[in-house]
Amino acid sequence: MSEVKVPVWNLWSNKKSYDSCLSSSSNFVPLSENDTRKSENFAGRSTVSPLFDKLPIRSKYMREYKRTSTKRLRSVSRDRGPDCQGDFRVIDWPNESSKIKIRNGYGENSSNTRKSFVVALLLTAVGLLMGFLAAYLDIAVEWLSDLKFGVCIFLLLYTCMGAILVITLAPYAAGSGIPEVKAILNGVVMKGFLSSLTFIVKMLGVSLAVAAGLSAGKEGPYVHLGCCLCALLCSLFPLIRHDGRLYRELLACASAAGVAVAFGAPVGGVLFSLEEVSTYFSSQVLWHAFYCAFVAAMTLKVMNPYYNGKTVIFEIPSNLPWNWFEIVFFALTGAVGGILGTVFIKTNLLWMKLKEKHGYFKRHPMREILLVTLMTCFLFYFSDFLSGSNSEILTSLFNECSDDSQELDDIAKKNEAYLCSVKNSKQVALALLVGTFLKLFTAVITFGIKLPTGIFIPSLTVGGLCGRLIGVLVKGSVTKYPKFPLFRECLLSTSCVSPAIYAVTGAAAMLGGVTRVSVSLVVIMIELTNGLHYLLPVMIAVLVSKWVGDVLHVDSIYELYIKIKRYPYLRSNPPNENSRTEWFSVRNIMHTPVVCITSTSFHLSDLERLLTEYKYWNFPIITSSEENAIIGSVSREAIAFVLGLCHKENLAPRDPRVHFSPPSHLSNLHEAFTVLNDNSSSSEELVLELGSIMDFFTLTIPDNTPVVKVPIILRNCILWLSTCQIGYRDIPKYRSSCRLVIQRRKDFGCHIEKGYHSIYGYDDHFMN
Region of residue 365 (left: phi > 0; alpha: psi -120 to 50; beta: else): alpha
Domain final position from 270, 303, 336: 303
The DSSP code sequence of 77-109 is BTTB-GGGSGGG-B--HHHHHHHHHHHH-TT-H
The verdict on 291 and 246 lying in the same domain is yes
Residue 350's CB is within 10 A of a number of other CB atoms, namely 12
Task: Identify whether 315 is part of a domain.
Answer: no
Answer yes or no: do 90 and 117 share one domain.
no
Residue at 299 is within a domain: yes
Residues 265 and 364 in one domain: no
Share of the chain above pLDDT 70, in %: 66
Q: Which of 148, 156, 145 is nearest to 376 (CA)?
A: 156
pLDDT at 443: 93
Is pLDDT larger for residue 421 or for residue 499?
Answer: 499
* Domain edge (last residue) among 530, 565, 600: 565
pLDDT score at 57: 38
**What pLDDT, on a 0 to 100 scale, did the predictor assign at position 599?**
79
Q: Regarding predicted confidence, which is higher, 717 or 492?
A: 492
Please tell me which of 63-67, 197-201, 712-716 the model is most confident about, judged by mean pLDDT: 197-201
pLDDT score for 395: 85
> For residue 262, what is the DSSP state?
H
Say whether pLDDT at 32 is over 60. no
Instruction: Give residue 49's pLDDT.
Output: 35
- Say whether both 218 and 367 belong to one domain: no
**Is the pLDDT reported for residue 351 higher than 60?**
yes
Angle between helices 283-303 and 109-147 (to 10 degrees): 40
- Measured CA to CA, the distance from residue 746 to residue 761 in angstroms comes to 20
pLDDT computed for residue 579 by the predictor? 53
* Measured distance CA(534)–CA(318) in Å, rounded: 8
pLDDT at position 750: 55
The answer to whether residues 24 and 159 belong to one domain is: no
Contact 748, 571 (CB under 8 A): no
Do 442 and 340 sit in the same domain of this protein? yes
State the CATH number of the domain containing residue 173: 1.10.3080.10
Distance CA 608, CA 128 (A): 49
Q: Is the peptide bond before 702 cis (omega within 30 degrees of 0)?
A: no
Lowest-confidence pick of 118-127, 560-569, 620-629 = 620-629
Same-domain pairing of 619 and 671:
yes
Is the pLDDT assigned to residue 654 strictly greater than 80? no
Q: CA 297 to CA 293: how far, in whole Å? A: 6
Residue 309 lies in a domain: no
User: Which band of pLDDT confidence, cut at 50, 70 and 90, is reported for residue 431?
Assistant: confident
Q: How far is CA 743 from CA 15, 31, 613, 695, 707, in A?
A: 41, 35, 19, 17, 12
DSSP string, 613-680: H---SEEEEES-TTT--EEEEEEHHHHHHHHHHHHHTT-GGG--EEE----S-SGGGGGTTPPP-TT-
Beginning with the edge strand found earlier in the chain, give each strand of the sheet holding 3-7 in spatial order: 3-7, 685-689, 657-659
Give a yes or no: residue 481 inside a domain.
yes
Q: Which pLDDT value is given to residue 711?
A: 64
Higher pLDDT, 417 or 67: 417
Distance between CA atoms of 502 and 504, rounded to whole angstroms? 5
Residue 228's pLDDT band, with cuts at 50, 70 and 90, is: very high
Which CATH number characterizes residue 715's domain?
A: 3.10.580.10
What separation in angstroms does the CA of 299 have from each of 129, 292, 688? 8, 11, 56
pLDDT of residue 465: 94
Instruction: Verify that 593 and 475 share a domain, yes or no.
Output: no
Backbone phi, psi, residue 674, to 5°: -80, 160
**Lowest-confidence range among 145-154, 358-367, 494-503?**
145-154
d(CA 259, CA 580): 37
What was the pLDDT predicted at 555?
84
Which pLDDT score, from 0 to 100, does residue 630 have? 78
* pLDDT recorded at residue 589: 67
Phi/psi-derived region of residue 177, left when phi > 0, alpha when psi is between -120 and 50, beta in every other case: left
Is the predicted pLDDT of residue 567 greater than 80, yes or no?
yes
Percent of the chain at pLDDT above 90?
A: 28
Residue 459 lies in a domain: yes
Tell me whether residue 71 is in a domain: no
Residues 438 and 535 in one domain: yes
Number of domains forming the structure of the chain: 3
Does position 462 have pLDDT exceeding 90, yes or no?
Answer: yes
Question: For the residues 71-81, what does the mean pLDDT come to?
Answer: 36
Q: How far apart are CA 290 and CA 269, in angstroms?
A: 8
**Domain closes at, from 504, 535, 565:** 565
* Average pLDDT for 84-102: 56
What is the structure's pLDDT at 48?
A: 33
Residue 189 domain boundaries: 108-303
Give the integer Cα–Cα distance in Å for 557 and 545: 15
Q: For 463-490, give the DSSP string.
A: HHHHHHHHHHHHHHHHHH-TTSGGGGGG
Going by pLDDT thresholds of 50, 70 and 90, the confidence category of residue 412 is low
Residue 488 has pLDDT above 50, yes or no: yes
Average pLDDT, the chain: 74
DSSP character string of 409-467: -HHHHHHHHHH--STTHHHHHHHHHHHHHHHHHHHHHHTTSSS--BSHHHHHHHHHHHH
- Spatial CB neighbours of 264, under 8 Å, sequence gap ≥ 6: 297, 300, 310, 311, 312, 313, 527, 528
**Domain membership flag for residue 547:** yes
Residues 104-122, mean pLDDT to the nearest whole number: 73
In order of 350, 359, 561, 697, 767, the CA distances from 761 in angstroms are 10, 21, 14, 39, 11
- Give DSSP secondary structure letters for 709-760: GHHHHHHHHHHHTT------SEEEE--TT---EEEEHHHHHHHHHHTTHHHH
Q: Same domain for 429 and 496?
A: yes
pLDDT surpassing 70 at residue 210: yes
Q: How far apart are CA 339 and CA 345, in angstroms?
A: 10
Of 346 and 91, the one with more pLDDT: 346
- 736 vs 402, residue with greater confidence: 402
140 and 268 both lie in a single domain: yes
Q: Calculate the alpha carbon distances from 127 to 122, 136, 203 in Å.
A: 9, 14, 17
Residues 512 and 541 in one domain: yes
Average pLDDT over residues 426-449: 90
Quote helix, strand, coil % in the chain, to nearest 5: 60, 5, 35
Evaluate whether residue 7 is within a structural domain: yes
How does DSSP assign 588-617, residue by residue? GG-B-S---EETTT-BHHHHHHHHHH---S
- Under DSSP, is residue 359 helix (H, G, I), strand (E, B) or coil? coil
- Higher pLDDT: 214 or 582? It is 214
Q: Is the pLDDT of residue 17 over 50?
A: no
Tell me the per-residue pLDDT of 249-297, one tens digit each, with 9 for 90 and over. 999 999 999 999 998 899 999 999 999 898 877 888 999 999 999 999 9
Amino acid at 252: A
Q: What is the pLDDT of residue 221?
A: 92
Judge whether residue 510 has pLDDT over 80: yes
